[in-house]
Amino acid sequence: MRSLWRSGEPFVWLTGGALAVALLLVAGLVALILWNSLGFFWPKSVLRATLRDGAVVTGQVVEREPVPGKLGEYRIKLKVANRDLYGADFRWVDEREIVRRAEPPELAVIERTEWGVLIGTLGELRDGGRVVATGPGPSWTELTRRLPEAARIRREIRDIEKGEIGRINHAQEQIRLQLRRLALRGAGSDPEVTALERRLVAERERYRVQETRLAELRQRQTASVVVVADAGKEKDLPLAQVVRVYFPNAMGLLGKTGLYAARVWEFVADDPRESNTEGGVFPAIFGTVMMVMIMSLVVTPLGVLAAFYLREYARQGPFVSAVRIGVNNLAGVPSIVFGVFGVGFFIYGVGGSVDRLFFPEALPTPTFGTGGILWASLTLALLTVPVVIVATEEGLAAIPGGMREASLALSATKFETTVKVVLPAVMPSILTGLILAMARAAGEVAPLMITGVVKLAPALPVDGFWPFLHLDRKFMHLGFHIYDVGFQSPNVDAARPMVFATTLLLLAIVLLLNLTAISLRNRLRRKYATSAV
């Protein structure tokens, strides 16, 4: 027994076991996320079940589980959709109750801009109250003919609202602020004010023109499709609201795959709909990446400079040790505390002062005196600076003293040595710290909730209006999106797959950011081939 222990064999098993447990946990988590998220975009078949009492239930099977308390009996959870008709998206059905199952090919799944998915058969197509086609076949033919036009009009309306009218609103706001600035200065010279007011009138005129265009477009949206659902319920759905129509029961593997790809793309590249439970998450991706980038730009120099002072210049002693322990312990402060600090210091303190000094004309509406992507990034930079300091310090400690001496002996000053020898040698360690900081920041939610993240941001922090980069704007974030969709949305059940899909996306982004930094670090290491390899 003793010799077995001394041989080290049990220890090897112990170490292997610990690693296996860790791997298993991670693999299980990733598998769960993958399964739940990737399945979400697959167009599932629609089941039409006839129950024992004669009622018909139509929907997609999303779950199957044993009936509690009854042995050998199962029930299925059907996504019946049609929230506006039935009041609920899901329905549990005991399998024992089902007398007939069918998957009729004419069952359509309709994605629309409001109220979630609609499932049913196409009844008839109307245009301005007049019936154009009746029955599933003719309605579908007519629908496919009219849908591109309807989509084009919808796009045009959106372009006008976001583009033209957005620009006019922006211009009006700028003029209003200029007028206010002149008024505040008290020296509003008359010609200047009149000129501005004339421009304001011109903008209002332009706005009216666009309004007319919008009204005209809306008038052309007269067609609607009548969808027949269970129990003879009907929905008269304007074509303007239809995003996509497909018949999952009639689709082959190829068609489903194509649709799958289209839906994944929509998720990644589109704006959210339906209080974030449908559509895409592009603004959240954009916000997350941009926030991490700004944070990296701030935290790297800050952490590296602090580490350099601690290791290269400060006289090592009890005080420096205390500082070092303090820095390490900062990493243990709850992130929400950093958030509160961010609100108090950055938003009310710095932001408030910036507003009073540079944007007095906009007050009492705050510009920088409210949450925004800059303040959120700075708060996260504070949160992650200990990570960068610790990693850089360890890297500095690992550089052989002989390297510094060699440089000094070549008549370099300490500053030249630090910049030309120590800094390049410590670069891989800095990048390691940055990788850890980015991973931490990308997944952080609590401090963001009070420093600038919103459920739905009206505009991205980057756009075509001067100065193009709007660091004062509120933004969307994938981590907060997960919380919002998963726990704050009006329809948590229907939105749950979105939670997993968003999680997967967040993981993918963190992975991508890290791989970039890691490949950079490896290139540096190869270039210098330091002893740390």
Partner 1 sequence: MAGPIRISPSLSVAARAASVLEAPMVEIERVSLWYGAKQALRDISMTVAKHRITAYIGPSGCGKTTLLRCLNRMNDLVDGVRIEGQIRIGGTDIYDPKLDVTELRKRVGMVFQKSNPFPKSIFENVAYGPRILGVRSRADLTAIVERSLRRAALWDEVKDQLDDSGLGLSGGQQQRLCIARAIAVEPDVLLMDEPCSALDPIATGRIEELMVELKASYTIVIVTHNMQQAARVSDYTGFMLLGELIEVAATKELFTTPRDPRTEAYITGRFG
Q: Which range of residues in 166-174, 211-219, 376-384, 408-416 is near partner 1 by CB under 8 A?
A: 408-416
Question: At closest approach, how far in Å is the CB of 530 from partner 1?
Answer: 5
Q: Are 243 and 113 in contact (CB under 8 A)?
A: yes
Q: How far apart are the first and last CA of the chain?
A: 39
Please pick, from the candidates 268, 362, 412, 450, the single residue that binds partner 1 as defined by CB under 8 A. Answer: 412
Question: At closest approach, how far in Å is the CB of 529 from partner 1?
Answer: 4
Q: Which range of residues in 59-67, 71-79, 98-106, 407-415 is near partner 1 by CB under 8 A?
A: 407-415
**Residue 186, phi-psi category: left (phi > 0), alpha (psi -120 to 50), beta (remainder):** left
Give the SS3 label for residue 373: helix
Residue 450 touching partner 1 (CB under 8 A): no
Identify the residue whose tokens are 């630090």. Answer: 418
Question: At closest approach, how far in Å is the CB of 306 from partner 1?
Answer: 22
Q: What is the footprint of partner 1 within residues 416-435 (CB under 8 A)? A: 416, 420-421, 424-425
Q: Which range of residues in 168-176, 252-260, 512-520, 524-532 is near partner 1 by CB under 8 A?
A: 524-532
Residue 523 touching partner 1 (CB under 8 A): no
Cβ distance to partner 1 smaller for residue 9 or 416: 416
Give the SS3 label for residue 224: strand
Q: Which helix (H) or strand (E) holds 171?
A: helix 165-185
The Cα–Cα gap between 502 and 381 comes to 24
Cβ distance to partner 1 smaller for residue 35 or 309: 309
Residue 413 touching partner 1 (CB under 8 A): yes
Residue 219 touching partner 1 (CB under 8 A): no
Cβ distance to partner 1 smaller for residue 20 or 406: 406
Residue 522 touching partner 1 (CB under 8 A): no
**Residue 8, phi-psi category: left (phi > 0), alpha (psi -120 to 50), beta (remainder):** left
Identify the residue whose tokens are 């690992």. Answer: 398
Q: How many C-beta neighbours within 10 Å does residue 461 have?
A: 24
Question: At closest approach, how far in Å is the CB of 308 from partner 1?
Answer: 17
Q: Are 99 and 50 in contact (CB under 8 A)?
A: yes
Q: Which range of residues in 54-62, 103-111, 370-378, 409-417 is near partner 1 by CB under 8 A?
A: 409-417
- Residue among 334, 330, 339, 303 at smallest CA distance from 434: 303
Q: What is the footprint of partner 1 within residues 386-405 (CB under 8 A)? A: 400, 402-403, 405
Please pick, from the candidates 296, 407, 489, 491, the single residue that binds partner 1 as defined by CB under 8 A. Answer: 407
Cβ distance to partner 1 smaller for residue 168 or 425: 425
The Cα–Cα gap between 233 and 473 comes to 45
> What is the C-alpha radius of gyration for the chain, rounded to an integer number of angstroms?
30
Question: At closest approach, how far in Å is the CB of 285 from partner 1?
Answer: 37
Q: What is the footprint of partner 1 within residues 305-324 (CB under 8 A)? A: 315
Instruction: Please provide the DSSP assignment of 71-126 as one string.
Output: TT-EEEEEE---HHHHS-SEEEEEGGGEEEEE--TT-EEEEESSSS-EEEEEEEEE
Question: At closest approach, how far in Å is the CB of 419 from partner 1?
Answer: 11
Cβ distance to partner 1 smaller for residue 312 or 463: 312
Cβ distance to partner 1 smaller for residue 135 or 400: 400
Phi, psi torsion values for 455, nearest 5 degrees: -65, -45
Tell me which residues touch partner 1 (CB under 8 A). Answer: 315, 400, 402-403, 405-413, 416, 420-421, 424-425, 527-531
